[in-house]
């Protein structure tokens, strides 16, 4: 049986919701919405320009939170972890996101700067993948990013200790209340560990799904002259 790009078999329309988890997973429909067209020949030479076009289309199409991307990192022992975060910017310097330098992802990046970003917009059957090397921005740039966050987001970052064990929800609520008071008393307060990171891409890949499984994959690869080489990949 034909499989999609993830290796899963196509869903069967009208399949029962009961039964084994495998059967229930196989019964979930894919590509149920209207899928846009994509002509790779007409794609711009810069992947950021194409991403901007796709992002604007996703927003217009009602894709929920299209700025959310998955970040995959690995530690010094090659143990891989992934999580979702917000893309802060994309441009000639690379693709930016922020976190605390002492968080698990911050520690991973300190040990191994190679990382990958990916997003999937099922409503329009589009996927973008970015891989490359990550470096921290300057303390001044990181501080500016921190101060651009909402007061609630700044308070949460000031609490710190991301992913560390805690005694109770009440403990965190008390710490968060104290951090809110600190932000209110000093709006210029910056969490010292807050860091804006930029992934300089080695490649950017755009995937457009198709109901007939004739998916389109266009990969941009960084060239030595600062430009991009483009190639179509098999689905």
In contact, 157 and 146? CB cutoff 8 Å: yes
CATH 2.30.110.10 corresponds to the domain 27-233: yes
Question: Which strand (E) or helix (H) includes residue 195?
Answer: strand 194-208
pTM summary value: 0.86
Domain spans in the chain, listed from the N-terminal domain onward? 27-233
Strand-pairing partners, residue 130, are 117, 204
pLDDT tens per residue, the chain (235 residues)? 444 444 555 545 444 556 899 999 999 888 877 899 999 999 999 999 999 999 999 999 999 999 999 999 999 999 999 999 999 999 999 999 999 999 999 999 999 999 999 999 999 999 999 999 999 999 999 999 999 999 999 999 999 888 888 889 999 899 999 999 999 999 999 999 999 999 999 999 999 999 999 999 999 999 988 899 999 999 9
Q: Which of 116, 111, 51, 60 is nearest to 83 (CA)?
A: 116
In contact, 224 and 203? CB cutoff 8 Å: no
């Amino acid at each position: 049986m034909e499989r999609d790009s993830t290796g899963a078999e196509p869903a069967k329309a009208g399949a029962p919701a009961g039964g084994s988890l495998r059967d229930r997973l196989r019964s979930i429909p894919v590509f149920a919405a209207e899928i846009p067209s994509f002509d790779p020949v007409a794609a711009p030479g810069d992947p950021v320009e194409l991403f901007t076009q796709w992002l604007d289309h996703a927003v217009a199409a009602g894709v929920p939170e299209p700025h959310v991307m998955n970040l995959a990192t690995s530690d010094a022992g090659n143990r891989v972890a992934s999580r979702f975060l917000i893309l802060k910017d994309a441009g000639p310097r690379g693709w930016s996101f922020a976190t605390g330098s002492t968080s698990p992802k911050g520690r991973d990046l300190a040990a191994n700067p190679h990382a990958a970003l990916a997003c999937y917009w099922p409503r329009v059957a589009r996927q973008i993948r970015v891989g490359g090397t990550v470096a921290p921005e300057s303390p001044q740039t990181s501080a500016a990013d921190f101060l651009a966050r909402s007061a609630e987001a700044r308070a949460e970052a000031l609490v710190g200790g991301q992913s560390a064990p805690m005694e109770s929800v009440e403990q965190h609520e008390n710490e968060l209340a104290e951090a809110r008071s600190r932000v209110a008393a000093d709006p210029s307060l910056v969490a010292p560990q807050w860091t804006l990171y930029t992934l300089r891409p080695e490649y950017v890949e755009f995937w457009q799904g198709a109901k007939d499984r004739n998916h389109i994959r266009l990969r941009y690869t960084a060239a030595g002259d600062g430009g991009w080489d483009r190639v179509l990949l098999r689905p």
